[in-house]
Amino acid sequence: MIVPITMPRWGLTMTEGTVVEWHVQPGASVGAGQMLLDIETTKITNTLEAAEAGVLRRHVAEVGQTLPCGALIAVMAPPETPDAEIDAYVGSFVITEVADAGGAAEVEPKTAAVGDLTLNYLRAGAGAAVVFIHGFGGDLSGWALVQTPLASAFDTIALDLPGHGKSSKRVPHADVAGLAGELAAFLDAIGVQRAHLVGHSLGGAVALAFALAHPQRAASLSLLAPAGLGREINAGYIRNFIRAERRKDVEANLRQLFCNPDLVNRALAEDVIRYKRLDGVRQSLEALEGAFLSGEQQATVLRERLAEVQAPVLVIWGREDRIVPPAQGQGLPANVQVEWLERSGHMPQVEAADKVVALLKRHFAKAA
């Protein structure tokens, strides 16, 4: 049987990808989960893994080629399948609907008025509500690899925090409790009473603070490389994020986020530079820095209060995290399930998106 390998759609806004490097040559056997090739999108370079074991017979896309999502990039087939049959398959292949987010392809970001702020968010899918809260300097697009697959079974909502993405570039309440208050007001504004909360880094601390302040509104809590569980943090990353201006410096700083530093491409660095040039961003980031850091340490530590959270709590941490020390995930109270990811840095939702999706699905099911 011939199995097509097609250009994946890794985010709600991804339309095409470029082949950067093949890891497997034609004729080679591959195991499930083996790295097939690197694909560059406008956001990031990522590795496509084999969904099942088999023999890679043909590279259809060459290095440097840019193809739309769903286009054929390679063919897997048993060794006995004749070349002519593969030629015919390649020749007659047509792009069908990219199977992922249940029609979420047409989803456009919306805005909600929260006090005198305008908050931008991307909502896709139907089912129980899942809310994604990004970290310092991030935005909702960072969840793309996780939100897209979850949108087929959940009402997924990723927001841009105040001062970030396409939300207002002001942060009136810059401390963790203040941001949790903005999150509550945002959920009120879009009519979401209760949700599974997924927070990354600073967003993890915000999600935790929200769950403590509004226990009835948190169906479950998932914290990825979260802030708020210890004093220690890579304060240099935050300070450089705000102040680095040259692209080389920005790239060097962003590389600290990943276990595989090659994931930082020029488009990602350029996005960060363009974001930082917007009016109000510098002041917003400095306000967050001022409230979040105390000297070189985190100002807000909620670790002692984790045990109070009534909803199930999942913590996901990359062992190679160079921003928030993974050691802070050890010795957590018994109501917290901790999952460690090998070869993942501070951005497991990017570097280990498939694993994160599987862990989140299991966690949401347990909470339901």
Partner 1 sequence: MAKKSIRAAVNDALKLEMRRDPTVILIGEDVAGGAGGSGVQDAWGGVLGVTKGLYKEFGPGRVIDTPITESAIIGVAAGAAVSGLRPVAELMFVDFMGVCFDQIFNQAAKFRYMFGGKARTPMVIRSMMGAGFRAAAQHSQSLHALFTHIPGLKVVMPSNAYDAKGLLIQAIRDDDPVIFLEHKAIYDLEDEVPDEAYTIPFGEANILREGDDVTIVAISRMVHVAMDAAKRLAAAGIQATVIDPRTTSPLDEDSILESVEETGHLVVVDEANPRCSFATDVAALVADRAFGALKGPIKLVTAPHSPVPFAPNLEDAYIPNAAKVEAAVRATLAARELATA
- Binding residues (CB under 8 A) for partner 1: these are 169, 245-247, 266, 274, 277-279
CB of 279 to partner 1, least distance (A): 4
Question: For residues 246 and 295, which CB has a smaller minimum distance to partner 1 in the complex?
Answer: 246
Question: For residues 254 and 315, which CB has a smaller minimum distance to partner 1 in the complex?
Answer: 254
CB of 277 to partner 1, least distance (A): 4
49, HSE (Cβ side, Cα atoms, 13 Å)? 11
> Is residue 239 classed as helix, strand or coil in its secondary structure?
helix
Question: For residues 110 and 247, which CB has a smaller minimum distance to partner 1 in the complex?
Answer: 247
Question: For residues 16 and 49, which CB has a smaller minimum distance to partner 1 in the complex?
Answer: 16
Phi, psi of 336 (to 5 degrees): -110, 125
CB of 185 to partner 1, least distance (A): 22
Q: CA 154, CA 53: separation in Å to the nearest integer?
A: 30
Q: CA 360, CA 37: separation in Å to the nearest integer?
A: 26
Q: CA 176, CA 161: separation in Å to the nearest integer?
A: 12
Please say whether the beta carbons of 324 and 202 come within 8 A. Answer: no
What DSSP string describes 332-349?
--TTEEEEEETT--S-HH
CB of 262 to partner 1, least distance (A): 15
Q: Answer left, alpha or beta for residue 163, where phi above 0 means left and psi between -120 and 50 means alpha.
A: left
Phi, psi of 357 (to 5 degrees): -60, -45
CB of 63 to partner 1, least distance (A): 13
CB of 247 to partner 1, least distance (A): 7
Question: For residues 117 and 323, which CB has a smaller minimum distance to partner 1 in the complex?
Answer: 117
Q: CA 266, CA 82: separation in Å to the nearest integer?
A: 42
Question: For residues 57 and 169, which CB has a smaller minimum distance to partner 1 in the complex?
Answer: 169
Q: Residue 98: which residues within 8 A CB-CB, separation 6 or more?
A: 6, 9, 69, 70, 105
Question: For residues 279 and 304, which CB has a smaller minimum distance to partner 1 in the complex?
Answer: 279
Question: For residues 97 and 108, which CB has a smaller minimum distance to partner 1 in the complex?
Answer: 108
> Is residue 178 classed as helix, strand or coil in its secondary structure?
helix
DSSP 74: E
Q: Is 127 exposed, middle or buried (0-12, 13-18, 19+ CB in 10 A)?
A: middle
